[in-house]
């Protein structure tokens, strides 16, 4: 069987969506090598034959990244520095063991460049909304000047790096992912202007895999009322006042509230909470969503797709522009609603929660999109596409 290498940025939002694909390829008998950092080695070990460990060369301050034009340039500059640093290290780490195919995140430029260097076929994976001439996140959600001196300085540096590495990939194609066979980890129905994307985009939906490092969660046997899950993900979660508001607003509804605060908040610092509220740093989110009636979420794409897979209505409280785009799509499709995090109070949140729990129309739409999401194929469909690229054999 084939040797398949995975390259993604060292971030939960990029690694978690690939775990199901890697696990499926491993199950089919392929040899999977995953390049990642120590922080993610434990979860990657469950789905790979070998781990190539590295240290980030230019770890970005993701909590300060708000998807503005300026921060986009900062992020691209950090990715370029990461690419320049990781490329020779990872090239040498695979010396004598070149993969037969490369799977790389659209933000892991080093993966695409290594595939080109090895003459190896590759597949791009996209864990978020994708762009084309009909729709782009920059059209509405960012302010970006094509005449920015910082942008042109970045393009000069990018062009020089590509020349130094002997790459023939045009800078614009590397940034956009153009010319690639792409697996998109969302259903086509969730993508803005989804019907305008050609057949090089394969909307396979979420490729879920149980994250065993999180442990398990079981629904209380005596729970009769609504189960509400609350989380702000792994980056923009330094909001103790938000979690206290959720606890007070959702407590006393006759059910259970599960709050995961992440590493940005000390659970003990939230003080006394209603007895029907449980707080964790991390929780087995898929286990909770399998039983949840409502998900109060930042609308990160990973969490959004996990809720879609389970048909759980969402109350979206986005923390940055990319999440706002996801939240707007949630509302547009009628599978949830959005709330502005600024000025959120216990009373306004409690009212929104009660209204959404009572809205049968939203629940029906969420369940209909659940069925469409699952029909997209998930990890088996993604693995089928990767095996098709192996049979094609052409490097891109």
In the predicted model, is pLDDT for residue 73 greater than 50? yes
> In order of start, what are the domains of the chain with their CATH numbers?
3-205+377-394 (3.40.50.2000), 214-374 (3.40.50.2000)
Q: What is the mean pLDDT of the chain?
A: 92
**DSSP-derived secondary structure letter, 188:** G
Longest dimension (CA), the chain: 64
Kindly indicate the confidence band of residue 63, based on its pLDDT and cuts at 50, 70 and 90: very low
Taking the C-alpha atoms of residue 3 and residue 5, their distance in angstroms, rounded to an integer, is 7
3-state helix, strand, coil in the chain (%, to 5): 45, 15, 40
In the predicted model, is pLDDT for residue 89 greater than 50? yes
Arithmetic mean of pLDDT, 339-359? 94
Tens-place pLDDT, residues 135-185: 998 888 876 677 788 889 999 999 999 999 999 999 999 998 877 789 999
According to the model, what pLDDT value does residue 249 have?
A: 95
Q: How far, in Å, are 37, 104, 199, 313, 325 from residue 7 at the CA level?
A: 11, 5, 23, 32, 26
205-66-77 Cα angle (round to 5): 90
According to the model, what pLDDT value does residue 379 have?
A: 98
Helices and strands of the chain, counted as H and E runs: 14, 13
pTM here? 0.94
- Its sign, for the CA torsion 58, 33, 388, 119, is positive
Tens-place pLDDT, residues 290-306: 999 999 999 999 999 99
Q: Lowest-pLDDT range, 212-216, 336-340, 347-351, 355-359? A: 212-216
Kindly indicate the confidence band of residue 383, based on its pLDDT and cuts at 50, 70 and 90: very high
Query: For residue 101, what are the β-bridge partners?
Result: 4
Taking the C-alpha atoms of residue 219 and residue 288, their distance in angstroms, rounded to an integer, is 7
**Torsion on CA atoms 66, 69, 72, 73, rounded to nearest 10:** -140
Tens-place pLDDT, residues 111-142: 999 999 999 999 999 999 999 999 998 888 87
In the predicted model, is pLDDT for residue 65 greater than 60? no
According to the model, what pLDDT value does residue 213 have?
A: 87
% of residues, the chain, pLDDT over 70 = 94
Kindly indicate the confidence band of residue 62, based on its pLDDT and cuts at 50, 70 and 90: very low
Kindly indicate the confidence band of residue 198, based on its pLDDT and cuts at 50, 70 and 90: very high
**Long-range contacts for 73-76 (Cβ within 8 Å, ≥24 apart)?**
73/148, 73/150, 73/151, 73/154, 76/154, 76/158, 76/175
Which residues make Cβ contacts (< 8 Å) with residue 178, sequence separation at least 6?
Answer: 172
Tens-place pLDDT, residues 359-370: 999 999 999 999
Helix (H, G, I), strand (E, B) or coil at 259: strand
For residues 6 and 18, the answer to whether their CB atoms sit within 8 Å is: yes
208: region left, alpha or beta (phi > 0 left; psi from -120 to 50 alpha)? beta
270-274-275 Cα angle (round to 5): 120
Give the number of other CB atoms < 10 A from CB of residue 282. 15
Residue 80 C-alpha from the chain's centroid: 20
Q: Is 168 exposed, middle or buried (0-12, 13-18, 19+ CB in 10 A)?
A: exposed
341: region left, alpha or beta (phi > 0 left; psi from -120 to 50 alpha)? alpha
In the predicted model, is pLDDT for residue 27 greater than 80? yes
């Amino acid at each position: 069987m084939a040797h398949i290498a995975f390259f993604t940025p060292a971030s939960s939002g990029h690694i978690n969506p690939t775990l199901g694909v890697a696990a499926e390829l491993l199950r089919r008998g392929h040899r999977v090598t995953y390049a990642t950092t120590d922080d993610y080695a434990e979860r990657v070990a469950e789905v790979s034959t070998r781990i190539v460990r590295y240290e980030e060369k230019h770890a970005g301050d993701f909590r300060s990244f708000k998807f503005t034009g300026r921060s986009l340039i900062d992020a691209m500059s950090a990715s370029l520095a990461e690419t320049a640093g990781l490329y020779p290290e990872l090239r040498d780490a695979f010396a004598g063991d070149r993969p037969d195919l490369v799977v790389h995140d659209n933000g892991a430029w080093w993966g695409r460049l290594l595939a080109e260097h090895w003459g190896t076929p590759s597949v791009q994976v996209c864990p978020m909304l994708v762009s084309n001439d009909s729709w782009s996140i920059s059209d509405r959600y960012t302010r970006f000047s094509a005449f920015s001196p910082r942008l042109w300085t970045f393009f000069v540096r990018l062009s020089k790096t590509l020349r130094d590495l002997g790459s023939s990939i045009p800078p614009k194609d590397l940034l956009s992912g153009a010319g690639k066979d792409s697996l998109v980890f969302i259903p086509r129905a969730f993508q803005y202007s989804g019907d305008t994307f050609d057949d090089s985009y394969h909307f396979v939906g979420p490729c879920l895999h149980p994250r065993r490092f999180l442990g398990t969660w079981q629904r209380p046997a005596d729970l009769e009322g609504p189960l509400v899950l609350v989380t702000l993900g792994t980056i923009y979660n330094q909001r103790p006042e938000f979690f206290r508001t959720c606890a007070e607003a959702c407590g006393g509804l006759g059910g259970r509230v599960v709050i995961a605060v992440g590493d940005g908040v000390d659970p003990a610092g939230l003080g006394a909470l209603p007895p029907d509220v449980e707080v964790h740093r991390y929780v087995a989110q898929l286990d909770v969503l399998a039983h949840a009636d409502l998900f109060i979420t930042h609308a990160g794409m990973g969490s959004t797709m996990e809720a879609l897979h389970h048909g759980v209505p969402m109350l979206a409280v986005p923390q940055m522009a990319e999440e706002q785009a996801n939240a707007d799509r949630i509302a547009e499709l009628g599978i949830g609603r959005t709330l502005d995090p600024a000025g959120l109070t216990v009373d306004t949140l409690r009212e929104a929660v009660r209204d959404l729990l009572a809205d049968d129309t939203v629940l029906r739409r969420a369940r209909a999109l659940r069925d469409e999401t699952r029909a997209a194929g998930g990890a088996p469909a993604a693995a089928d596409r990767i095996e098709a690229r192996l049979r094609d054999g052409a490097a891109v």
